[in-house]
Amino acid sequence: MCGFPIKAVRMIFRFLQFVSAAGRQSAWLVVLSSVVALISGCLSTAAAEPKQERHRLRDLGILVGQYPPGPFNAITDIVGVKVGHTTLISGEGKLNPGHGPVRTGVTVIIPRDDVWHKKVPAGSFVLNGTGEMTGLAWVAESGFLEYPIALTNTLNVPRVANGMMSWMIKQYPEIGISDDTLTPVVAECDDGRLNDIQGRHVSEQNVMTALDGASHGPVTEGTVGAGTGMVSYGFKGGIGTSSRQLSEKEGGYTVGVLVNANHGRRQELVVSGVPVGKLYDPPQQASQAFVPGQSEGSIIVIIATDAPLDGRQLTRLAKRAALGLARTGSTVRHGSGDFILAFSTGNMIPHYPKDPTYNLTHFADTHLNPLFAATVEATEEAILNALTMATTVTGRDNHRIDAIDLARLKTLLSSSQ
């Protein structure tokens, strides 16, 4: 994040109050030169790309699926779910490993307030395992999730896990003393095509800032948080989200999905059934080969629902997200890491139950089909929102990844009807 903090300005003025009149002029010169340097850094970053007007898929008049979205068309349509980001953008030009340029960040999803004591049922599915989502062994064993989820880049997983643990210990000081320890859920994608990934620039404080700032309501998408340096289908990718609401006859439940899209090749992209990737570029440009060892990308899918599903059913729900991914053209290549985690706010699992039993509402498997369909649709639209909301980014070594051209996208879809 770029900007000159108000707190820093106040500190400067307090410092100047203690400087003698004779030295105040030179002190001001030091301060002003520092401010100019900071502003220049911000301007150079901001000026790297002009302001880009972006729109979500539905705002372009492109509708996918049959179910209507929720009020925010986001994972936060599930009451209690919060999302937060910390975005890190600095430097430009040649890569200086460990120093920049930086195009990365962290995104967090908080299932509900006090999730440590009021756990949510959870399940997961690994579609292709060239990657990592920590903590899944405990999710599979317990059938629940008891802390927020963090998304970041591959080499930053340990630091982000440290940040998550530090934040949790701050919230619950007895962790590891008179209370359980924790194995946080941190999922990664490789942003090394644009970012100095060796620098591991996401700090513990960045994670805690994202968690403290997480909120309900609309979710910022595209080139933000963990999605800052991501590439999807040869275009700029990143964070995308969407939701679906079932009819009252089907229970009135909501399914919300958030993705970090960093997967796929240009010629694979399909939008609303149209092979946009094949039509977008001439074949010689669309078939650029990856060399051995070069990342083929990944995608992380987080699903939330207020339907009272258990861990087994949520694992089934997670598997259906793979169909939404396929609808956008992905073939889940060998080098792709595709991890899906689903949780439900429809039940509450107590931290330390006093009695041997407690009550949960059990959802009938025979009524799961609408939730399956809603998951497929929301996953598809979340991925496409990531593409249409992402902005063009120039990263390390002046690598430039263009955002998909929205006017061209609409033209291709219109001419295919």
Reduced to 3 states (helix: H, G, I; strand: E, B; else coil), residue 211 is helix
298 is catalytic: yes
Query: Measured between alpha carbons, how far is 309 from 314 in angstroms, rounded to an integer?
Result: 6
Residue showing tokens 């399914």: 255
**Contacts for 119 with CB less than 8 Å, ≥ 6 apart:** 144, 145, 146, 348, 349, 350, 351
Residue 26 neighbours by CB distance under 10 Å: 10
- Does an H or E element contain 159, and which? helix 157-171
Closest to 57 measured CA to CA, from 406, 364, 340, 408: 406
Write down the H helix ranges in 198-344. Answer: 204-212, 276-280, 283-286, 311-327
Query: Measured between alpha carbons, how far is 360 from 349 in angstroms, rounded to an integer?
Result: 8
338 is catalytic: yes
* 150 strand-pairing partners: 108, 186
Q: Please state the φ and ψ torsions of residue 109, each to the nearest 5 degrees.
A: -125, 120
Catalytic residue selected from 298, 310, 330, 344 = 298
Catalytic residue selected from 190, 191, 306, 338 = 338
* Dihedral angle sign, alpha carbons of residues 32, 33, 35, 36: positive
Answer whether 56's CB lies under 8 Å from 405's CB: no
Answer whether 256's CB lies under 8 Å from 305's CB: yes
DSSP category for residue 179: B
Task: Name the residues annotated as catalytic.
Answer: 298, 336, 338
